[in-house]
Structure formats: C-alpha cells, structure tokens
Amino acid sequence: MKKILIVDDSKMARNYHAYVLKNAGYRVIEAIDGADALEKLFSNPDISCIITDLNMPNMDGLTFIKKVREKEEFKKIPIIIVTTLDENYDKSEGFKAGANYYLIKPTKPSALISTIKLLLKD
C-alpha cells in the first residue's frame, strides 16, 4: 500500500484527490501548504509520490518542490504538479524547480490514477 502526499490549500481539492486515490487503493497523507508538506514528508519517509498544488499561502508549490529536491533522500521521489490551467503559468518553472510531470485541474480521475500508476510502476 503506497503512500501519496497531497499538498493543496483547498480542502475541497484535497478531499477530492484523496478520495480518488484512496478508491484506487493508495494511502493518502494531506498537507495544507508547502511548509506543512515538508513536515509531513520528513516524518513519513515512506511516501512514494508527491502531488502538489502551486498556489498556496505560507510556502508555495515551487518553493516546496525546490526544498524537497535539496535533500539527497528526496531526489528520486516523483513529484507531480496539479494546477489550474493559466496563461500566466510557465510550465518550465515547474520542471526547473524539480517536478517530473504536471496535471491540469480539475483533474480527471482517470488521468490522475493512470499517471500515478505509471510513475509508481503499480
């Protein structure tokens, strides 16, 4: 049973993603912003994948991803950005920060699950 970290400041978005993932048989840990996510990640070293929002208070998604990648032990953990489609959002920023892939909100459950499955080789 793999653990997935969901980072989003919207409770509705968290619940929605968590529900989809749990139904597909994953364990889910939720974090409300980047800072919270770092804490959760450090106390749950067995997290196998991170799904993060970008627009969040306290610590935004890009900063969070950079901080994760700074740590040697989290260099390999797959990170997917989940964000609302925006003309203002430059996708290259996500890759530069250290994300592997991104999904567009509202996330299609099928796309979310299939992506995770390929990422985790499930």
Partner 1 sequence: MKFADDDIILIKNILKEIIMYIQNLENTINQIKKNPKNNHLIVKIIETLRSIIDLSHFINLDFLVEIIRKQNKHLKNLQTIDNKDIHILEQLLQIIKNTFDTISNYANKSDMSEIDIPLEDIKDSKEYKEIINYLESRAASKEKNKTSSFSSLNELLEEYAVELEDNITKLENALLDYEQNHNSELLKDIMRYFHSIKGGSRLILSFPENSDNISLLYIEKISHKFEDLVQKSIKENIDLPVNLLFQAVDYLKTLKNSFLQNIPFDKDKIDKFLQNINTSKIQHPVEKIEINEISRPTETISETLINLISQFLEFLNVLKENPELKENALYSILPIKNGLELLKNKDLIEILNSAESSIKQNDFDQAYQTISKLYNILKQTDKTSIEKTDIELKEAEKNKKERVLETKVDTKTKSPILKVNRKKIDKLINLIEELTTVKNFLSYILKMNVIQDEKTKNNVTRLNKIISELYNVAISIRMVPVGDLFSMFRRTIRDLSIKLSKKVNLIIKGSEVEIDKNIIEIIEDPLTHLVRNAIDHGIEPPQERLKLGKNEEGEIVLNAYYSGNFVNIEVIDDGKGINPEMVRAKALEKNLISPEEVMNISDEQIINYIFEPGFSTSNNINEISGRGFGLDIVKNTIEKIGGKIYIESKVGKGTKITLQLPLTLFIVRGLLVEIENFKFIIPMEFVHEIFKLNSSKIYSHKEIYFTKIRNKIVPVIFGDTIIENFEFNKKEYLVNNDLINLVLIDNVEYGTVALVVNKIIEENEYLIKNIPEISTNNNLLFGATIIEDGTVVPILNLIELVI
Report the interface residues with Mg ion, using CB under 5 A: 9, 53, 55
For position 98 contacting partner 1 by CB under 8 A, the verdict is: yes
Q: Helix, strand, or coil here: 99?
A: coil
For position 119 contacting partner 1 by CB under 8 A, the verdict is: yes
For position 64 contacting partner 1 by CB under 8 A, the verdict is: no
Number of neighbours of residue 112 by Cβ within 10 angstroms: 19
The bridge status of strand 79-84 relative to strand 101-105 is parallel
For position 63 contacting partner 1 by CB under 8 A, the verdict is: no
CB of 118 to partner 1, least distance (A): 4
For position 71 contacting partner 1 by CB under 8 A, the verdict is: no
Spatial distance between the Cα atoms of 84 and 107, rounded to a whole number of angstroms: 9
